[in-house]
Structure 1
Amino acid sequence: MVTEQHSFITSAKRVIDIEAKVISALASRLGQDFVDACTMLKNCKGKVVVSGMGKSGHVGNKIAATFASTGTPAFFMHPGEANHGDLGMLSKGDVMLAISNSGETAELVNLLPVVKRLNVPVIAMTNSKHSALGQHADVVLDISVEKEACSLGLAPTSSTTATLVMGDALAVALLDERGFTSDDFALSHPGGSLGRKLLLKVSDIMLTGDDLPLVKHDALVADALLEISHKGLGMTGIVDELGVLVGIFTDGDLRRILDARVDLHTALVQDVMTVGGKTTQPEQLAVEALNVMEAHKISALMVTDEARKPVGAFNMHMLLRAGVL
């Protein structure tokens, strides 16, 4: 059993070592061709159409998805299907990113005359500039590898890693050049947890109106406790005669005054509240408000307008339900 485990780990380390060296070699070959490819993709008025067969196709699918989610409109076109009608997906203004390790993939090479007739520029990712694909491409990105990580030297391993990394390099270089932001990223991921974190505002989750826990500054502590109990946020805001927030009374404040043996039925809440208190605004991102709460070790926040009048409130449980936490 120990020998078997050693064999598995030895094989795995060998693969990782080979592929790490492949990536390092890839970086050392980046030059004007990469710059030309990025420029072509940046200036593309249509879509980036990624195409490849077999393992190259699987990697191409991922590259297209990465482009699309980082500000470069793209989709994957299967070359086999393109030979039977799907080439209609390609139009003037597009750029084609053709992937073939050998550069001789028949299904891909067969498309080139029509692609050229459409005046669609081609960026090739291949191991040979002298291949059929390399000779007909406008830009060639060298993804050649010294050897596959497969011990038989047959299964695409190092070569697919090199292809994937080159695709990521293109996508991120374009992202940086365009000034693509986290907000832009969230707009293309509205259904995921990342989208919720980056798009959700405090105003989207806060309680408002009659659900807002509030008492006047001259109220009794007992009245504040009833408000906390009824509204269920673990705290209440304290306002003055003009409705301006002057403090907050929380479960923590209650524990403090109980230790001090304060009479809850005679003490005024203004005498035991936390003066001022941390607040946020409706337009602030929920994730930013969460950062404030975590930094100050508080579990709820009042939301105020510019005049410091309460307009909402929320707690950690609401952030959790909204998927922000």
Structure 2
Amino acid sequence: MKIFIAGASGAIGSELVPQLVARGHEVVGTTRSVAKTDALRALGAEPVVVDALDPDAVADAVARAEPEVIVHQLTALSGPADFRHAKRTFEATNRLRTEGTDHLLAAGRAVGVRTFVAQSNSLWMERAGAPVVDEDARLEPAPPADAVPLVAALRHLEEAVTGIGWADGIAIRYGGFYGPGTDLSAAPDAVLTDGVRRRRFPIIGSGAGVWSMVHISDAAAATVAAIERGKPGIYHVADDEPAAVREWLPYLADTLGAKPPRRVPAWLVRMLAGDFAVDMMTRAPGISSEKAKRELGWTLRFPSWRTGFASGL
């Protein structure tokens, strides 16, 4: 198939492009930076420099590519997250998930794409209920004030993509990425890894929030399967071991040869940085990926973050 990947130079795009090319697909990949075009070409994609927030530029790029599939992997999450100013930190990504999604959908409809796959996120599933949820669960209906724009943007993306009637619309709620090209990798400039080594990534409060993790190569493989065999709707993509922050974070620190993470009272973090980080660290549920394995035939290279942290960073 001819596949148009918006955000092809990002962490998952860089894994997704070679996997698709290896399976015989023709890939056109977008980037915001001219400097990244050679890297995309080396991965096997035809690079296109485009501003995803410019509807005319998006429409022109998609029209020229004439793809059968559009894959939306656009974010603007490079650099350390500043949870004290969460609205500002995630503002650009929120626009890509709202305006950028709408531009890509309009362009895709104009050329008659048959499948549209988009990146969502599992960290803001509804807090009430089970510690691990499937695709029937909804996004958190009453997030903290500093997370409202982010959750609203995720909701817009999911509803817009899965609600299209002219193509198969698929939203993938990924777990937390780790591995090459992510903020949690062996690279010296990996933000989360560096934070753990410097003991700047603490366990907040109870640390009872359950996170689901996924190696970036596994996330890309699930995306390939969704492109080729997915049905309209939502898929969860993460490994088989959702775990509380107080469990996986000390294990990660030990794996990295770092000191155990500090513990910080929730009230103190809430006072200094707001509710955003406290909520994620203490209330988040994990996700089950049984649907993706059952319907897509997806198998994990790293079924657990335990082996993944040890050998997959």
TM-score, normalization by structure 1: 0.30
Task: With a CA cutoff of 8 Å and minimum separation of 6, indicate the structure with the bigger relative contact order.
Answer: 2
Q: Highest CA radius of gyration, 1 or 2?
A: 1
